[in-house]
Amino acid sequence: MASVVTAAAVSRNFGAYQDAAVREPVIITENGRPRTVLIAYEDYLRLSRRDRRVEATADVSDADLAAIEKADMEPSLDHRNAELLTDKHAAD
């Protein structure tokens, strides 16, 4: 569960909210609306690793598609398959 606080409250007591963000995200509001989120550095790293580049298949050439179809994934990347199968946002 995330904490929700105003930007003014964070400004007055940044250290406390910085400590809180290590335990859970802190949603910072401005004018009553969520504007930013303060999160732990480890959470940021985890989220940034999940950021992947996406391209439309229509933009991929036939030669590239053929190469992709023939390719084998390195065994060291098998965890990626498991990630796709367990990701709650993966397509069914």
Give residue 92's pLDDT: 46
- Residue 90 reports pLDDT greater than 70: no
Helix/strand/coil (H/E/C) assignment for every residue in the chain? CCEEEEHHHHHHCHHHHHHHHHHCCEEEEECCEEEEEECCHHHHHHHHHHCCCCCCHHHCCHHHHHHHHHCCCCHHHHHHHHHHHHCCCCCC
What are the structural domains, with CATH classification, of the chain? 3-86 (3.40.1620.10)
pLDDT digits (tens, 9 = 90+) for 22-59: 999 999 999 999 999 999 999 998 888 776 667 777 88
Q: Which residue would you say has higher pLDDT here, 87 or 5?
A: 5
Q: What is the mean pLDDT of residues 6-14?
A: 96
